[in-house]
C-alpha cells in the first residue's frame, strides 16, 4: 500500500467522525448523553423527534463508535463511548465560541438581561456548600439529575420551576446549574427567581465540567 493510500485511508477514518456530527440533532444527542445514559424513547422526547428518527441518528453515531448501547428487556439505552467523546463535544463548543459570533448572539437574544446575573465557579460553590450558606438547584430533567448531580443539590426541572417557587428559601443564595456553560436552563431559571424576589445566581459551567474536575457526584441511589 502506498503512502498516499495510507494517508487517504486515515483521513477517511477521521471523516467518519465528521460525518457523524454533520447533523445538529446528532450533536444535540451527544450533548444530552454527556449528562448520562438515556433510552431511545427518552432521547426522542427531549429532542422533539420521533423514535424512528432518533434511532436512525443514534445508529450513525454508533457506527462512528461515538456511542454504545445496552439492552434492558425491550428497551435500548445509549451512552457515550467514553470520556473522550464528552471532551470532544466540549472542544467543539469551545471552537464555536471562538470562531462563530452567532453562538453568543443566539444565547444573548434568548437571555435578555442575562449579563447581569452573578456567576460562581465550581471552587466557590464547593466552598459555599461546605459552609451551608447556599441552596443548590439542578434544573435539568429528572433523569439527568438521577444519573448524577452535585451533592446536596435539589432537583427542580426547569419546566416545573414555577411549581417549586414557594418551596425555595428566601433567606439564602440560590445557585442554579444545568448541562454546561451553553445550557440556557440555569440562567433563565435564575432570571425567573430574581423576578420573584429571590437571590439567584448560576454556576458558570455545568455537570459535565463538575464531573471532569473530579468533584464528588451523587446519584439517585447514593
Do both 172 and 208 map to the same domain? yes
- Identify whether the C-beta of residue 36 lies closer than 8 Å to the C-beta of residue 147: yes
**CB 154 within 8 Å of CB 135:** yes
Q: Are residues 151 and 54 in the same domain?
A: no
Report the C-alpha gap between 58 and 67 in whole angstroms: 8
- All cell numbers assigned to 6: 495510507
* 119 and 72 together in one domain: no
**Structural domain span for residue 144:** 107-212
Q: Please report whether residue 222 resides in a domain.
A: no
* Residues 125, 204 within the same domain: yes
What distance in Å separates the CA atoms of residue 157 and residue 166, rounded to the nearest whole number?
A: 15
- Give, for 176, the enclosing helix (H) or strand (E): strand 173-178
pTM value is: 0.86
How do residues 181-214 score in pLDDT, each as one tens digit? 889 899 999 999 999 999 999 999 999 999 989 9
Tell me which residues are annotated as active site: 178
User: What pLDDT digit, counting tens, does each position of 13-37 carry?
Assistant: 999 999 999 999 999 999 999 999 9
Domain identity same for 78 and 118: no
Amino acid at each position: 500500500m502506498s503512502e498516499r493510500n495510507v494517508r487517504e485511508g486515515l483521513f477517511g477514518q477521521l471523516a467518519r467522525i465528521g460525518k457523524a456530527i454533520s447533523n445538529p440533532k446528532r450533536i444535540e444527542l451527544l450533548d444530552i448523553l454527556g449528562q448520562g445514559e438515556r433510552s431511545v424513547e427518552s432521547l426522542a422526547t427531549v429532542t422533539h423527534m420521533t423514535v424512528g428518527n432518533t434511532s436512525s441518528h443514534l445508529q450513525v453515531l454508533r457506527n462512528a463508535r461515538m456511542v454504545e448501547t445496552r439492552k434492558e428487556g425491550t428497551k435500548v439505552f445509549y451512552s457515550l463511548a467514553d470520556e473522550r467523546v464528552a471532551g470532544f463535544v466540549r472542544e467543539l463548543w469551545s471552537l464555536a465560541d471562538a470562531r462563530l459570533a452567532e453562538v453568543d448572539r443566539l444565547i444573548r437574544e434568548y437571555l435578555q438581561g442575562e449579563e447581569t446575573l452573578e456567576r460562581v465557579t465550581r471552587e466557590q460553590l464547593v466552598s459555599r456548600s461546605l459552609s451551608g450558606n447556599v441552596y443548590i438547584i439542578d434544573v435539568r430533567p429528572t433523569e439527568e439529575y438521577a444519573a448524577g448531580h452535585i451533592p446536596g443539590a435539589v432537583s427542580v426541572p426547569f419546566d416545573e420551576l414555577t411549581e417549586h417557587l414557594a418551596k425555595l428559601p428566601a433567606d439564602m443564595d440560590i445557585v442554579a446549574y444545568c448541562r454546561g456553560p451553553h445550557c440556557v436552563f440555569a440562567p433563565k431559571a435564575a432570571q425567573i427567581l430574581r423576578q420573584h424576589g429571590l437571590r439567584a445566581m448560576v454556576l458558570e459551567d455545568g455537570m459535565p465540567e463538575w464531573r471532569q474536575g473530579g468533584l464528588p457526584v451523587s446519584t439517585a441511589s447514593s
